[in-house]
Amino acid sequence: MDPHPARAPLTLQQRIADAACMHSAPRRSDLRCGARADVQLVCGAGRYEMDVLLRVSETSDELGVVGQVTRADSLHEPVPHLALVAYDCDSLRPVAEADTDAFGGFDMKLDQGGRYALAMGASSAAPCILLWEGGPQ
Protein backbone atom coordinates (compact mmCIF):
# COMPACT_ATOMS: atom_id res chain seq x y z
CA MET A 1 0.00 0.00 0.00
CA ASP A 2 1.32 3.43 -0.96
CA PRO A 3 2.02 5.46 2.23
CA HIS A 4 1.64 8.66 0.17
CA PRO A 5 -1.68 8.53 -1.67
CA ALA A 6 -2.03 10.77 -4.72
CA ARG A 7 -3.70 14.12 -4.11
CA ALA A 8 -5.36 16.43 -6.57
CA PRO A 9 -2.93 19.09 -7.80
CA LEU A 10 -3.19 22.47 -6.11
CA THR A 11 -4.45 25.44 -8.09
CA LEU A 12 -2.11 28.34 -8.78
CA GLN A 13 -3.91 30.41 -6.14
CA GLN A 14 -3.47 27.61 -3.57
CA ARG A 15 0.23 27.25 -4.43
CA ILE A 16 0.84 30.99 -4.05
CA ALA A 17 -1.04 31.07 -0.72
CA ASP A 18 0.90 28.00 0.43
CA ALA A 19 4.21 29.64 -0.53
CA ALA A 20 3.25 32.80 1.35
CA CYS A 21 2.39 30.83 4.49
CA MET A 22 5.46 28.60 4.46
CA HIS A 23 8.09 31.20 3.63
CA SER A 24 8.47 34.79 4.62
CA ALA A 25 8.73 37.10 1.65
CA PRO A 26 12.07 38.66 0.86
CA ARG A 27 12.47 42.03 2.53
CA ARG A 28 15.21 44.59 2.73
CA SER A 29 17.30 44.16 5.84
CA ASP A 30 19.29 47.37 5.66
CA LEU A 31 20.68 50.21 3.61
CA ARG A 32 24.30 50.23 2.60
CA CYS A 33 26.10 53.56 2.22
CA GLY A 34 22.75 55.28 1.81
CA ALA A 35 21.86 53.19 -1.26
CA ARG A 36 19.36 50.40 -1.58
CA ALA A 37 20.90 46.94 -1.36
CA ASP A 38 20.04 43.91 -3.47
CA VAL A 39 18.00 41.19 -1.80
CA GLN A 40 19.15 37.57 -1.96
CA LEU A 41 16.66 34.74 -1.61
CA VAL A 42 17.89 31.17 -1.18
CA CYS A 43 15.17 28.55 -0.86
CA GLY A 44 13.92 25.16 -1.90
CA ALA A 45 10.69 24.24 -3.63
CA GLY A 46 9.75 20.74 -4.70
CA ARG A 47 12.69 19.06 -6.42
CA TYR A 48 14.58 22.34 -6.82
CA GLU A 49 16.82 24.73 -4.91
CA MET A 50 17.00 28.37 -5.96
CA ASP A 51 19.49 31.14 -5.37
CA VAL A 52 17.88 34.39 -6.52
CA LEU A 53 19.18 37.95 -6.46
CA LEU A 54 16.52 40.68 -6.55
CA ARG A 55 18.07 43.88 -7.91
CA VAL A 56 16.13 47.01 -7.05
CA SER A 57 16.79 49.86 -9.49
CA GLU A 58 17.44 53.33 -8.06
CA THR A 59 16.55 55.04 -11.33
CA SER A 60 13.43 53.18 -12.46
CA ASP A 61 10.60 51.00 -11.16
CA GLU A 62 12.34 47.92 -12.54
CA LEU A 63 13.12 44.87 -10.44
CA GLY A 64 15.83 42.66 -11.90
CA VAL A 65 15.57 38.99 -11.00
CA VAL A 66 18.63 36.83 -11.67
CA GLY A 67 19.43 33.45 -10.27
CA GLN A 68 20.24 29.78 -10.62
CA VAL A 69 18.17 26.64 -10.15
CA THR A 70 19.83 23.43 -8.97
CA ARG A 71 18.51 20.00 -8.04
CA ALA A 72 17.51 19.58 -4.39
CA ASP A 73 18.98 16.09 -4.23
CA SER A 74 22.26 17.18 -5.86
CA LEU A 75 22.78 20.81 -4.90
CA HIS A 76 25.61 21.55 -7.32
CA GLU A 77 23.84 20.06 -10.34
CA PRO A 78 22.14 22.82 -12.37
CA VAL A 79 18.68 22.37 -13.88
CA PRO A 80 18.93 23.33 -17.56
CA HIS A 81 15.97 24.32 -19.76
CA LEU A 82 13.44 24.68 -16.96
CA ALA A 83 10.51 27.02 -17.67
CA LEU A 84 10.06 29.69 -14.98
CA VAL A 85 6.90 31.77 -14.82
CA ALA A 86 6.39 34.86 -12.62
CA TYR A 87 2.74 35.40 -11.68
CA ASP A 88 1.06 38.50 -10.32
CA CYS A 89 -0.29 37.29 -6.95
CA ASP A 90 -3.45 39.40 -7.21
CA SER A 91 -4.58 38.71 -10.79
CA LEU A 92 -2.85 35.27 -11.05
CA ARG A 93 -1.73 36.27 -14.55
CA PRO A 94 1.75 35.48 -15.83
CA VAL A 95 3.83 38.67 -16.04
CA ALA A 96 7.25 37.29 -17.07
CA GLU A 97 8.74 34.05 -18.30
CA ALA A 98 12.26 32.70 -18.64
CA ASP A 99 13.97 29.39 -19.31
CA THR A 100 17.06 28.37 -17.40
CA ASP A 101 20.24 28.12 -19.46
CA ALA A 102 22.68 25.18 -19.53
CA PHE A 103 23.96 26.22 -16.08
CA GLY A 104 20.52 26.64 -14.52
CA GLY A 105 20.81 30.43 -14.72
CA PHE A 106 17.98 32.80 -15.53
CA ASP A 107 17.20 36.50 -15.78
CA MET A 108 13.89 38.40 -15.89
CA LYS A 109 12.57 41.90 -15.27
CA LEU A 110 9.53 42.81 -13.18
CA ASP A 111 7.94 46.00 -11.86
CA GLN A 112 8.91 46.84 -8.25
CA GLY A 113 5.33 47.70 -7.30
CA GLY A 114 3.87 44.25 -7.92
CA ARG A 115 3.52 41.17 -5.74
CA TYR A 116 4.90 38.07 -7.45
CA ALA A 117 5.14 34.31 -7.16
CA LEU A 118 7.58 32.27 -9.22
CA ALA A 119 6.59 28.83 -10.54
CA MET A 120 9.37 26.39 -11.42
CA GLY A 121 7.99 24.51 -14.40
CA ALA A 122 5.12 24.99 -16.79
CA SER A 123 2.76 22.34 -15.39
CA SER A 124 -0.17 23.16 -13.15
CA ALA A 125 1.58 21.26 -10.32
CA ALA A 126 4.88 23.17 -10.60
CA PRO A 127 6.40 24.20 -7.25
CA CYS A 128 5.90 27.87 -6.47
CA ILE A 129 7.57 30.42 -4.19
CA LEU A 130 6.55 33.89 -3.08
CA LEU A 131 9.21 36.05 -4.73
CA TRP A 132 8.41 39.71 -4.00
CA GLU A 133 5.76 41.59 -2.05
CA GLY A 134 6.12 44.86 -3.93
CA GLY A 135 6.61 48.46 -2.97
CA PRO A 136 9.56 49.90 -1.09
CA GLN A 137 11.12 47.01 0.79
Residue 48 is predicted with a pLDDT of 93
Around Cβ 94, how many Cβ atoms within 10 Å? 12
CATH number at residue 115: 2.60.40
Residue type (1 letter), 30: D
What pLDDT, in 10s, does the model give residues 1-48? 555 566 667 677 777 776 665 554 555 544 444 456 688 889 988 899
Structural domain includes residue 2: no
Averaged pLDDT, 89-93: 91
Where is pLDDT greater, at 124 or 79?
A: 79
This prediction's pTM: 0.74
Structural domain includes residue 57: yes
Averaged pLDDT, 58-74: 91
Averaged pLDDT, 57-71: 90
By residue range, what is the domain housing residue 86? 12-25+36-132
Question: Would you call 80 helix, strand, or coil by DSSP?
Answer: coil
Q: In angstroms, rounded to a whole number, what is the distance separating the alpha carbons of residues 24 and 44?
A: 13
Structural domain includes residue 7: no
